[in-house]
Structure 1
C-alpha cells in the first residue's frame, strides 16, 4: 500500500524529480528576438513609409510578408517610431494604416504601442467595422491585462478627445473589458464615460450586466440603464432573469418577469427558457412545465431550445414517457427535433440502462440525415464498454480520435466505473497512443473522488518520474486536496513546498487547499505561515483564503483574531462574503454568545452583505440552544426578510431541536408547514422525526410513522432506530422481526449492527434475546468478535448462568478469539 511509503513522508523519487527538473521543463521557452532599439531616426521612418507605400498592393500585403529587406527595416525602428508611421498613414490613407499595423503585428510579431492600437481602433470605428473593432479592442485589453483601464482611459482623454469616433471607441472599450471578464476595469471605463458625458449603448450595458449577473451589482447596472433614458431590450431583461436564477432567487426572477410583461419590451422566449432551465436544474420539473404553458398565454411560441430543456429535465428524472410526449408535441407545432433532442432522449434511456432505447434514437437520427456526434458515440461506447463497445469504437472510427478517448475516460470516471477507466487507460497506452496530461488528470481526479488517494498518487508519481510528463494544475489540486482530506497533512505539505520551490504556484488555489487543510485540523499557526508564504510570492489571496483562516481561528477559539481578519479582507480590496460572517456567527453561537451573533448580523446588513439561508439557519441554531423553542421560532420569524423562502435544511434544523426539547407536536407542526411552502420533506426529515419519537418512548406513533414511510422509501437507519427502541423497551420479538425484515430488504448488515442490538439487550439482561441474535448472526456467516463475547459473558456471569458462560467460552476458543476474561 502506498500509505506505507508515505511515512517518510513522501516517496523520495517524487521530491527529487520535482526539484531536479530544469525550470525550462515547466515553462515555454521565450523565442522572441531581442533587437537593439536605435535612436529615433526620421530617415528610417521615411524609408519604411516610402518602401511600404511603393511596394504594397492595395488590399494585399502578401508579397511583403517574406520580404527580408522590409523586415530588416522594421526591426531598425522602435515602437515609438512605428507609432508615428501609423498616425501619419491614418490621416489620409486609412486602409494602408490598417494593413501596415496588422502586417507588423500578425506576421512579424511586432509589439505595437497603446497609441497605435487606439489609432487603429478609431479608424475601424469611423469605417463602421464594428465586428473588427470588437476583436481589436479585446486583443488590446487581453494584452494589457487587468487593471489597465486607468492608463488607457487617460490616453483616450488626453490624445483622442477631439477625434470623430472617440465616443464609439469608449463604448466598445467598456464592452471589451466586460467580454474579457475584467469587470472592475469595465466599471472604471463606465465611470470615466459618465464624467465625459459619453453615453453607453444598450449593447455595452448588456455586456456589463452579463458579467455581473452572479452578483447583487446587477441591480445597480439595471437602474443605471433606466436612469440613462435607454429602453432595456428583451435581451437585457433575459440577462437579469438569468442572473437572479444563477443566484437561486427564483421568486425575484418570476416577479421581474411579471413586471416586464407590462412594458413595451415585454418578456421573450429566452427569458422563459432561462426560468425553465433553472427550474429543471433544481429538480422542479412541474414548475418548468408551468413556465412552458405561460409562454403560450403571453402569445409567445416555444422554440426547439424550449422543448429540449423540458425533454432533458424529464429524461434525467427518468420520466421518459412524458419526455416522448413533449417530443411529439414539438412536431405538432411544426418544430423538428435536432441533434440535441435525440441525444437528450438517448441519454435518458442510457441512464435507465435501456440501451435498446438509445439505439432507437440513434437509428432515427441516421434516418433523418442527422449525423451522430462524438457525444452520441461516447454514450453508446460507455453503455457497451465491453467487447461490443470496443467493436463499436473500431467500426465508427472513434478510436482514432484522442478527444473521444478523453471523453470516454471522463465519462467512466464520472459514473464511478474506475476499473473500466483504468482498463481503457492501459489499452490506450498499449495501442501506442501516449496518454496526455489531461487523460492523467481525469483519472487522478476520478481516483481521488472515490477516496483512492494512494492509487492516485502512484499514477501521479509514475506520470512525473517515469513518463516525464508534467501533471497539470487539475492533477496537482486533486492530489493535494485528497492528502488534506485524508489527514495526510505532512505529506501534503512536502508536496506543497515542492510546488513552491519549482515555481508551480500559478494561482492561489493550491495555497487555499493547504490553508484549509491546516485550519480544519486546528493548526492555525501553520495556516498563517502558508498564507505569508503565498503572499510573499506575490500571489493575491481570495475571499476563500480568508474564510479558511477565520474558520481556523474560530476553531481555536481565538475570536478577536478571527474578527481582525475581516479588516484584513478590506485592506486587500476584497469584500467579506456571507460565508465569512456565517462562520463567525456559528462559532459565537457554539459559545452561547447570542449578543455577538446579532451584532454580526447587524454589521452584515450595514455593509450591504445579504444573509443567506445558511446564515439564518445558524442564527436559528443559536436561538434554539436557549431551550426556549417557541420564543426562539417567534424571534426568528420576525427577523426574516420579506420574500425569504426557508429551505429543507432550515426546517430540519428546527425540527431536530424541537425533538431534542421533547416538543414532538411542534416538530410535526413544522413538518406540515413545509408543505405550505411547497417543500417536500426528505428522508432526513422523517428520520429526525422517527428518532425523536423513539428517543422519547412514543413507540406507537413511531410505528405509525414507520409504516407511512414505506411510500417514501426507508433507509437502513430507520430500521436501526426502531430496533434499538424495541430493545430498550424489552420488545425482543418485535426487534427480531424488524431486524429480519432489514436483512430481507437487502441492506448490508455488519457485525456493528449486531453488536449494537446485543449490547442493548445485555444491559436489560434480556439474555434470551441475546442468544437469538447470536444464532442469527452465525447463521448469516458473520463471525463473532471478542468485544461482543465479553459483553455477553459479563451479562451471563451477572445472572450466574454458568452453562451459557462455558458454552460461549468454548465458542470463542473455536473461533480463535482471546478468552483471557475473568469469569468470576
Structure 2
C-alpha cells in the first residue's frame, strides 16, 4: 500500500533542493488560482497520462505540477512502462529532472522501478560523477534482484545501453556492488562481459573481488587479470593478496610476494606487515615476527596499536610475559597508547600461566590509565579464577559486572556452571542457572549440556532428564553431548532397559543420527552381560545405514572375549578391516587381555607382533597386559625387561603396571625386588597408590616378615598415607593367626581412625581366627566392640563362639552366648 503523500517532503535532501532552485520551469510569481486554471482538466481521463505529465511539467514547471491534484490522482495508476517513458524523456530534456522524478516515485510513492529506469538513472548519475548516489541505486537494484541475476542484467545493458555515454562506469559499479554483496560469481560474470566489450574495471572493484576470494585459489586468477588489464595496483591490493596467502597457509609465498612488490618500488604497508607478523605469531615464531616489526621501522612506517598487540599477544601465548610487558612500555615510549585490547591480551597471558596476581596487576595499570574493564576483561578474569578452582571469586566478578550495568552473556554463565559442576557443586550450578534466566539471559544448548552432564556425573539422572525435556519445550534441540551423557549415566547405574527406552525416544524424534549414542548403548549392554542385545542393536544400525566405528567393534570384541569366544572376536577384527576401518591399540589390547586370562601367552605375543607389523603403537596398557601374562607364567625377568623396553619406546609405565609386577614378585617371595620396584616408582616421579602399599603389606604378611609389615603400616599412618581396607584387614588377620591380639587390636583401631566403614565380615574374620586359637577373652572383646558400634551379630559369629566355648569347656559362657543368640533372634543350627 502506498503511503499518504506529503507535499514536497522529498525536497528535504540538500542536493534536490539546490537542483530545484535552479529549474527554469519554476515561476514563483504565478498565483495558485492561475495554477489551477492551467492544470489539465480532471473531468475526463487522459488518453495518454505520459504525454499529459510531460506536457504539464514543461508548461507549468516541475514543482507546481507535482504539487497539483492531477498528478496526485494519476500517479497511483502509473505502471512501470509509463514511468520508464517519463524518466527516459526527462533524461533527454534535463537529466536532473529524471533523477528527481525517479527519487520522488521511489521515496514518496514507494514505486518499484523497472531495471530500465534504474539503469537510465545510473547512467545519468555516472555522467555527473555522483558516485555515492550511483552506488545506492545499483545496491537497491541488486538487493531486489539477488544472486544469479548478472546474466539478465548484462543482457539488458548490452541491448539497451550499448552506445550510451558513461557505460564503463555503470558496468564497473555493477561488478563492484556484486562483489561487495559477496555475489562473487555474478561479479566475475560482469567482469568477463566487460573484458569482451573492452571496458576497464577499476582497482576498487578488483580489490573488492580479491578480498572476497582471498581464501580461495582463484584469487591468483583475479590478480593476474589485474596485471593483464593494466589496472594500477594499490597498496591495498598487495595487502589483500598477502592476507589471502597467509589465510591459505602459504606464508613463504606471502613473504616472497612482499619482496617482489618491494623490488618494484612498492614499499610494504603497515597492514601487510601486520598480517605476516600475525601469522608467524600464531605459528609460534615470535622471533621471526619481531624481524618484520623491525622492517616496519626500517621503511619509516609507524607501528600502530594493532602492530604492538600482535607481538604482545604472540609473546603472551609463548609465556614470555616479561618481554610482553617490555613491548608495552616501548609502545608508550613511541607515543602509541596501549588500549583495552592490549591490557586484555596481557591478562590472558597471565591467566594461561595461572598467575592471577599478574592479571590483577594489569587491571591496576589499566585503571591508572583511565581505562575501564570491558566485558572481555571480566570474562577473562572469571575464566582465570575458575581454571584455578576459585569459583567463588568468579561469582563475585559476575556480581560486579551486574552492578556496573554490563549485559551478562550465556558464555560467562557457562564458564561458571562448568566450574561448579567440575568440583561437584551441581546444586549450586542449578541455582545459578535459574538466576541466569531471571537476569534475562537465555540459556543455549551449551548451557543445558553442561548441566545435564554435571547431573549425570553425580548420578542424578532423573534431574538430568527433566532438564532434557525443558530443552524441547524451549525449542532448543539437545546435542549429542548431553544426550550421550544421559545415556552413559543410565548405563553406568545399571539402568540398561531405561537407557534403551531413552535411545528409542531419540530415534523417534529423529535425534539419533550420531553413532556415538549407539556405541554407548552397545557398550552398556556388553558391560552388563547382555551380549545378545548388543549384537541385535549392531545389526539394527547397519540396516539403518549408520556406519559403525572401531569403537563399536571394540565393545563387541570385549563382550565375546568375556564369553571366551575368541573365534567370533577374531572374526570381528577382520570385519573392521573389511569396512575400511583400522583396529586400534584398544582392539588388540582387549583381545590380548582375554588371551592373558586364558593363559595363552603364545597368541598374546603373536598379537603384539601383528600390532607392530600393522604400524599400531602399543600403549602402556598393552604392555601392562603383556607383563601380567608373563608374570602368570612366572617369567619375571622378561616382565622386568619389558618394563625397560617401555621407557626406551617413550611409554611411561603407570601405577597399574608397577602394581602388577610388584604383586608377582611378592607371590614369588621376592620381597626385596618388590621394594626395589617401589623405589623405582619414586625415582620416576610416579606416586605409589594405596593399592601398591596394600600389595606390599600383604606380601610381607604372607611371604615375608610380619614385623616389617607393622613398621611399613605405622610409617604410612604417620605420613597420613591411606591404605585400602584390604591392607588393614590383611595385617589384622595375620596377627590373629600369630596370636598377637594386641597388634590386631591396634591395627583394627587404626583402620577405624582412617574412616573405613567396618562391616560384619571384618568382625567375623577376626573373631573366627581368635576362636580357632581358643583366645576366647579376646574374641569376646571384639564381640563387645561390635555390639558397641551397633552391629548386630550374625549366625556365623554366634556359632563360631558357641563352638569355641564348647571346645574350651567353658559351659557357662557357652550358655550365656546361646541366650544372647536367641535374644538376637538367631537360632543355632544344632
Cα 1:596–1:392 shift into 2, 3 Å: same
Judge conservation of contact 2:179–2:208 (CA < 8 Å) in 1: no
Does residue 1:411 correspond to 2:419, yes or no?
Answer: yes
Judge conservation of contact 1:655–1:667 (CA < 8 Å) in 2: yes
Judge conservation of contact 1:522–1:552 (CA < 8 Å) in 2: yes
Judge conservation of contact 1:483–1:491 (CA < 8 Å) in 2: yes
The alpha-carbon deviation at position 786 of structure 1 amounts to 3.1
Judge conservation of contact 2:280–2:289 (CA < 8 Å) in 1: no
The alpha-carbon deviation at position 480 of structure 1 amounts to 0.5
Judge conservation of contact 1:124–1:130 (CA < 8 Å) in 2: no
Judge conservation of contact 2:798–2:817 (CA < 8 Å) in 1: no
Does residue 1:629 correspond to 2:636, yes or no?
Answer: yes
Match of 2:608 among 601, 610, 627: 601
Cα 1:492–1:589 shift into 2, 3 Å: same
The alpha-carbon deviation at position 479 of structure 1 amounts to 0.9
> Could you give the per-residue CA deviations for residues 235-291 of structure 1, whole angstroms, max 9, x where no partner exists?
99997xx9xxxxxxxxxxxxxxxxxxxxxx999999xxxxxxxxxxxxxxxxxxxxx
The alpha-carbon deviation at position 513 of structure 1 amounts to 0.7
The alpha-carbon deviation at position 682 of structure 1 amounts to 4.2
TM-score normalised by L of structure 2:
0.60
Match of 2:587 among 562, 568, 580: 580
Cα 1:433–1:53 shift into 2, 3 Å: closer
The alpha-carbon deviation at position 706 of structure 1 amounts to 2.5
Match of 2:447 among 424, 439, 452: 439
Match of 2:524 among 507, 514, 517: 517
> What pairs up with 1:680-699 in 2 under 5 angstroms?
680-699=687-706
Give the equivalent residue in structure 2 for 1:281.
Answer: none
Give the equivalent residue in structure 1 for 2:64.
Answer: none
Q: Unaligned stretches of 5+ in structure 2? A: 1-114, 159-166, 196-202, 228-237, 255-276, 291-313, 331-342
Q: Which has the higher contact order (CA 8 A, sep 6+)?
A: 1
The alpha-carbon deviation at position 478 of structure 1 amounts to 0.9
Judge conservation of contact 2:701–2:709 (CA < 8 Å) in 1: yes
- CA distance, structure 2, for counterparts of residue 746 and residue 487 of structure 1: 28
Does residue 1:786 correspond to 2:794, yes or no?
Answer: yes
The secondary structure found in structure 1 opposite 2:524 is helix
Cα 1:202–1:569 shift into 2, 3 Å: farther
- CA distance, structure 1, for counterparts of residue 289 and residue 711 of structure 2: 48
The secondary structure found in structure 1 opposite 2:181 is helix
Cα 1:433–1:656 shift into 2, 3 Å: same
The secondary structure found in structure 2 opposite 1:776 is helix
Give the equivalent residue in structure 2 for 1:373.
Answer: 378
Judge conservation of contact 2:737–2:769 (CA < 8 Å) in 1: yes
Match of 1:729 among 738, 753, 761: 738
Give the equivalent residue in structure 1 for 2:779.
Answer: 770
Does residue 1:704 correspond to 2:778, yes or no?
Answer: no
The alpha-carbon deviation at position 449 of structure 1 amounts to 0.8
Judge conservation of contact 1:399–1:405 (CA < 8 Å) in 2: no
- CA distance, structure 1, for counterparts of residue 315 and residue 797 of structure 2: 69
Give the equivalent residue in structure 1 for 2:181.
Answer: 103
Cα 1:370–1:801 shift into 2, 3 Å: farther
- CA distance, structure 1, for counterparts of residue 391 and residue 182 of structure 2: 53
Give the equivalent residue in structure 2 for 1:460.
Answer: 468
The alpha-carbon deviation at position 474 of structure 1 amounts to 2.4
The secondary structure found in structure 2 opposite 1:373 is helix
- CA distance, structure 2, for counterparts of residue 175 and residue 358 of structure 1: 32
Give the equivalent residue in structure 2 for 1:502.
Answer: 509
Judge conservation of contact 1:716–1:747 (CA < 8 Å) in 2: no
Does residue 1:67 correspond to 2:75, yes or no?
Answer: no
Number of corresponding residues: 615
- CA distance, structure 2, for counterparts of residue 662 and residue 636 of structure 1: 20
Moved more, 511-520 or 757-766: 757-766
Does residue 1:739 correspond to 2:748, yes or no?
Answer: yes
- CA distance, structure 1, for counterparts of residue 446 and residue 617 of structure 2: 39
The alpha-carbon deviation at position 619 of structure 1 amounts to 1.4
Judge conservation of contact 2:624–2:660 (CA < 8 Å) in 1: yes
- CA distance, structure 1, for counterparts of residue 394 and residue 143 of structure 2: 62
- CA distance, structure 2, for counterparts of residue 367 and residue 634 of structure 1: 63
Does residue 1:569 correspond to 2:569, yes or no?
Answer: no
Choose 1 or 2 for highest CA Rg: 2
Cα 1:771–1:657 shift into 2, 3 Å: same
Moved more, 479-488 or 519-528: 519-528
- CA distance, structure 2, for counterparts of residue 686 and residue 468 of structure 1: 54
The alpha-carbon deviation at position 504 of structure 1 amounts to 0.5
- CA distance, structure 2, for counterparts of residue 81 and residue 813 of structure 1: 109
Q: Unaligned stretches of 5+ in structure 1? A: 1-45, 141-155, 180-199, 205-232, 243-264, 271-301, 310-326, 350-356
- CA distance, structure 1, for counterparts of residue 713 and residue 147 of structure 2: 89
The alpha-carbon deviation at position 676 of structure 1 amounts to 5.3
Judge conservation of contact 2:671–2:704 (CA < 8 Å) in 1: no
The secondary structure found in structure 2 opposite 1:615 is helix
Judge conservation of contact 1:460–1:471 (CA < 8 Å) in 2: yes
Cα 1:374–1:172 shift into 2, 3 Å: closer
Give the equivalent residue in structure 2 for 1:296.
Answer: none
Give the equivalent residue in structure 2 for 1:554.
Answer: 561
- CA distance, structure 2, for counterparts of residue 71 and residue 496 of structure 1: 47
Judge conservation of contact 2:697–2:712 (CA < 8 Å) in 1: yes
- CA distance, structure 2, for counterparts of residue 102 and residue 588 of structure 1: 66
Give the equivalent residue in structure 2 for 1:185.
Answer: none
- CA distance, structure 2, for counterparts of residue 81 and residue 519 of structure 1: 68
Judge conservation of contact 2:654–2:686 (CA < 8 Å) in 1: yes
- CA distance, structure 2, for counterparts of residue 173 and residue 565 of structure 1: 48
> Could you give the per-residue CA deviations for residues 27-78 of structure 1, whole angstroms, max 9, x where no partner exists?
xxxxxxxxxxxxxxxxxxx999989996999799554444389517956979
Judge conservation of contact 1:445–1:478 (CA < 8 Å) in 2: yes
Judge conservation of contact 1:481–1:513 (CA < 8 Å) in 2: yes
Judge conservation of contact 1:726–1:735 (CA < 8 Å) in 2: yes
> What pairs up with 1:298-309 in 2 under 5 angstroms?
303-305=315-317, 307=319
Does residue 1:478 correspond to 2:485, yes or no?
Answer: yes
Q: What is the CA RMSD across the aligned residues, in angstroms?
A: 5.7
- CA distance, structure 1, for counterparts of residue 155 and residue 796 of structure 2: 90
The alpha-carbon deviation at position 95 of structure 1 amounts to 8.4
> What pairs up with 1:323-362 in 2 under 5 angstroms?
338-340=346-348
- CA distance, structure 2, for counterparts of residue 433 and residue 655 of structure 1: 56
Moved more, 752-761 or 518-527: 752-761
Match of 1:655 among 662, 673, 685: 662
> What pairs up with 1:215-226 in 2 under 5 angstroms?
none
The alpha-carbon deviation at position 787 of structure 1 amounts to 5.5
The secondary structure found in structure 2 opposite 1:67 is helix
Does residue 1:489 correspond to 2:489, yes or no?
Answer: no
Give the equivalent residue in structure 2 for 1:592.
Answer: 599
Give the equivalent residue in structure 2 for 1:289.
Answer: none
Does residue 1:664 correspond to 2:671, yes or no?
Answer: yes
- CA distance, structure 2, for counterparts of residue 611 and residue 48 of structure 1: 75
> Could you give the per-residue CA deviations for residues 73-132 of structure 1, whole angstroms, max 9, x where no partner exists?
9569799999x9xxxx99x989864642553649xx99999x99xx9xxx9999699875
> What pairs up with 1:170-209 in 2 under 5 angstroms?
none
